Structure 1
């Protein structure tokens, strides 16, 4: 069963879906979920929530502020620390619902939000279980891995020019999220699989998705280091799902973060790339997360 919901995040209304198991009669363990860099909830989060609901779990799925159905200004801007705070607002909202067991709340995140849930697991002890899928570990290292060395300096100059323009009163500049030819069109996620997944998924499932973010979003990405929190998630149970062929959020960074994490923890290694977790490897990814949540929450 799914219903539309909205909740207040300190003056900004966030909107999404609440999934509940069919014929649930008592408050249920519930997973709070949001998507990654620029993505909206229609980009396969419904499929994960359905798997969780079929296993007797609730799921609160929402769009990040400034994206999709949620309010917020500046549109298409991603502030990672604001998104972490919004997860905490979502948890508070979930606790208020009579259908939700507030003592059994988990968080799930993927890619950018996979980094967020590492931070959340370390700082918010209302959370009793964490699943971090193909996570961002280090914005700085990820930036260096994605951007050609000869383009690093021009990218930093772009950040500086945007700062000067905003100081002079201009609106924040925008940049594409993905591009078919990143060599000729600057974009935030310059990999071929990013272009293919975002454009294909937007066309088939998520017409609300827009291929742009603020330049400031990319700058904040480079400053964000969620992997530094991984050793503090314990004693909350942590699962990290890594795609062996991931070169968008490199697999080696995620595997190293898993080694730094303390028990209880579990590693799931998928065979494909970053976006295969939503499609080709969906059953393995969603099934592992479901079983982890059921083990530690239900």
Structure 2
């Protein structure tokens, strides 16, 4: 297929180069964000008179149809199309013809991928924070049931001081609460719309960036085009918060493993949350907790 960037080239890239350059195997997960971003961009181009409104409407309908096909499992992505952005454009061109080429007006893959990634990370933060909050509520509920339950507190794995089980459980609630705060802080810095930054130095087209930001649910737009397309600190910040969350979950999982042993016998895992042994029928293994512990 003709490459989005292939204007000056006199021959096709080799299949080996295509396979080496391709990122579609892992950035295909961004398809929904890529299409949403493209729909907002097309609407803005039509609204601003940069392309004819009827072309913008045709592009939007085509993108919506592609989204439906991908959701239904009808699309197999093409490695030779390199990445999710070029795959979507290829599908759009097959669906609506040459008018598809107008979609990339005033846009570079640099600001396009920055947009997709920010939208993806925002959604992941929302999903993670929702899951953390559910876990916090479960721990608070369990703590309320055990206000009067006293257990040994340990230092160096030795009996140290008696503590209420509720107090022990709420320690994790406070840890998880800080985790949510970290993710929320990351969300605020991720919630910046970069589209319109171009390859690195913006564009001379009269873009309505705030319209695109509103369409896509961003609270603000980027102020510096080079920063917007070149930096991924928000991804590192997300991974840092996820690493700290993983550490807290690992601590909790370790206690479940220990408390579930015959020697401690503080808790009994539900059969639905354990596995057995093919050789030793008496075994009831806390595999889920062990895997959570092992991922940190």
Task: Point out the structure with the larger helix share.
Answer: 2
Please say which structure displays the higher CA radius of gyration: 2
- TM-score of the pair, normalised by structure 2: 0.26
Name the structure, 1 or 2, with higher relative contact order (CA <8 Å, separation 6+).
Answer: 1
- TM-score of the pair, normalised by structure 1: 0.26
